[in-house]
Amino acid sequence: MATVCAAPDAAHMPELDERAAVRRLHDRFGFGPRPGDLDRGFAATLDRLLTPAPVATPALTLDPPVLARGDKQAKKDANQRRAVEEKALTSWWLARMVATDTATERLTWFWHGHFATSEQKVRSPWHMLAQNEAFRRLGLDGFPALARAMVVDPALLLWLDGNDNRAGSPNENLAREYLELFTLGIGHYTEQDVREAARVLTGWTVRRDQAEAQFVAKRHDDQPKTVLGIIGYFTVQSFVDAVLARPESARFVVGRLWFRLVSATPPAADTVDRLVSAHAKDIRSVLRAIAAEPAFRDPATTLVKQPVEWALGLMRALGVRWDSLDDKAVKQLGNGLRGMGQLPFRPPSVGGWAAGGAWLTTAAGVARVKVAQLLAAKADLKSVTGADSVRELLSVDAWSDRTRDALSRVDKPEHLATVAACAPEYVVSR
């Protein structure tokens, strides 16, 4: 887990210089800078990152799943089609993340980890794409709209057993995770709230060949419920409104944004108050408020890059375009991400992916070297002649003596880029 020094008095807090602060904006609100990005000022960079993104790549079109029942060959064919579509979906999104120069895709990535949903169980790239597009469409706007959409999102319902939730036999999985992981956090609800919330959510079902969840009245418990101290005939939307009305909800959401984008150390109480005030407007305002906090410019506020963030940031720094990768290279990159423990649309659990030092394992290190070698071989490295030139290319503030010594022992540009990309100064967003 990445660590941060105890917050000093703001008046005496050291700050990153302007160029380093701009680099941090790109690391935290995007997928890393491209060459030339650090020449813009902090305010202009923040404005650009928070501008709604244009469509960077053609939209992906997937068909509804084929419902194959009984016929073994039909089921085999359906599974093969699903595997092909999942690979296409993953490549499509990775390409968008590399290409997009605003915070839109980074927030889409954040919400994918927050409302973590895995294709391994959903078994419908079609529904996973629809969820992904909802994150992109709503992710920078107000949280309530996203929270309302996700409670009846088909992929999330399939992932959290919504089809098993019916009157007389409620399944608590979605209700529990919605309160604990998505909106309130541990300690701000009771087990009775979970049971009653599960009753509220009865009746919402998903057909794999339909785009939206359906409300089936005969499966719904239509009796009064008591949720978070409120007694009433809840609809799914009035339930969400009751949850989000709790003061703990906004504090929980801004805390999760801080944890993933700034530091594993929780923000100070007055910082939380400012972020909650911004949260009342929209998520874009929260990001702007985060960037204005002194802790955001604190050199000690570091985060270990997640594998997807690291790999895509390296592609951007090296100028490697997605369309320059052939099928073999795309497969190798996917294998590398899997080897590092992170592949889009495959979070390990509803809790999402790990953070911090969990990514710094020996096995992940080996996979990281292979990916760095792959991307370095695809890059134009004529400008790389030594430690300083590769540092500038990767937008690293400075090398430690140990890293500089390691770089001095290699001379080929591809080897320099590989070693530099795997150095702590690049693997960790400083």
CB atoms inside a 10 Å sphere around CB 101: 19
Q: Residue 225: helix, strand or coil by DSSP?
A: strand
Q: Are 354 and 71 in contact (CB under 8 A)?
A: no
> Residue 430: CA atoms inside 13 Å, Cβ hemisphere, count?
18
Phi first, then psi, for residue 28 (nearest 5°) are -90, -35
Cβ neighbours of residue 127 closer than 8 Å, sequence gap 6 or more: 154, 155, 158, 206, 208
Query: What are the 10-residue block averages of pLDDT along the chain, 430 residues in total?
Result: 38 79 98 97 98 74 79 86 95 96 97 98 96 96 98 98 96 98 98 98 95 97 98 97 98 98 95 98 98 95 97 98 96 97 97 94 96 98 96 96 96 97 96
Give 33's DSSP letter: P
How far apart CA 311 and CA 308 sit, in angstroms, is: 5
Phi first, then psi, for residue 173 (nearest 5°) are -60, -55
DSSP string covering 80-132: HHHHHHHHHHHHHHHHHHHH--STHHHHHHHHHHHT---HHHH--HHHHHHHH
pLDDT of 179 reads 98
Instruction: Identify the residue whose tokens are 């969820």.
Output: 131
Long-range contacts formed by 212-219: CB under 8 A, 24+ apart: 212/152, 212/154, 213/152, 213/153, 213/154, 213/157, 213/162, 218/167, 219/166, 219/167
Phi first, then psi, for residue 103 (nearest 5°) are -75, -5
Q: Are 299 and 430 in contact (CB under 8 A)?
A: yes
Cβ neighbours of residue 323 closer than 8 Å, sequence gap 6 or more: 95
pLDDT of 9 reads 46
Provide the residue ranges of all domains of the chain, joining segments of one domain with +.
Answer: 13-49+246-297, 303-429
Give 342's DSSP letter: -
Q: Residue 345: helix, strand or coil by DSSP?
A: coil
pLDDT of 7 reads 40
Rounded to two decimals, the pTM is 0.94
Cβ neighbours of residue 66 closer than 8 Å, sequence gap 6 or more: 74, 77, 78, 81
